[in-house]
Amino acid sequence: MSLEITCTRNEADKKQISRCKETIENSSDSLNAISKVLSLAGSEVRLKILFLLNIENELCPCDIADILEMSVPAVSQHIRKMKDAGIITSRREGQTLYYSLVKSEHNVLNGIFNSISTKKKTA
């Protein structure tokens, strides 16, 4: 952990560096929270789950496993991470648990869903 001065070039703009440090500091909570959400959505499997929940409103782990052609425990473990992070929630109906997105206006996920494009059918 060497925190000596690393950059000693003449062009180094001390004011810019202080300003940037302050900017990062001021947005620190937001950066931390958003990076957590992005790291969840940054898994292709989880992005697919979130994308599906956005379209279908709610789905059970069992259906998701069928759709994504993967094992139920694998799906369940992805779901748990997203539930722990508070971006999805569940509703029980008998033995079945239905998961859905926790909606929020200022949610970074909304922008992500908007940028997912559908390929036109080529057949």
Partner DNA sequence: CTATTATTTAAGTATTTGCTTAAATAATAT
Partner DNA sequence: ATATTATTTAAGCAAATACTTAAATAATAG
d(CA 82, CA 113): 16
Say how far residue 32 (Cα) sits from the centre of its chain: 12
Residue 58 sits in the site that holds a copy of itself (CB under 8 A):
no
Partner from a copy of itself, DNA, none binding residue 48, C-beta < 5-8 Å depending on class: a copy of itself
Instruction: Let me know how long the chain is.
Output: 123
Which of 43/107 has CB closer to DNA? Answer: 43
Partner from a copy of itself, DNA, none binding residue 29, C-beta < 5-8 Å depending on class: a copy of itself
d(CA 51, CA 40): 12
Footprint on this chain of DNA (rule: CB under 7 A): 1-2, 7-9, 12, 39, 43, 45, 60-63, 70-81, 90, 92, 94-98
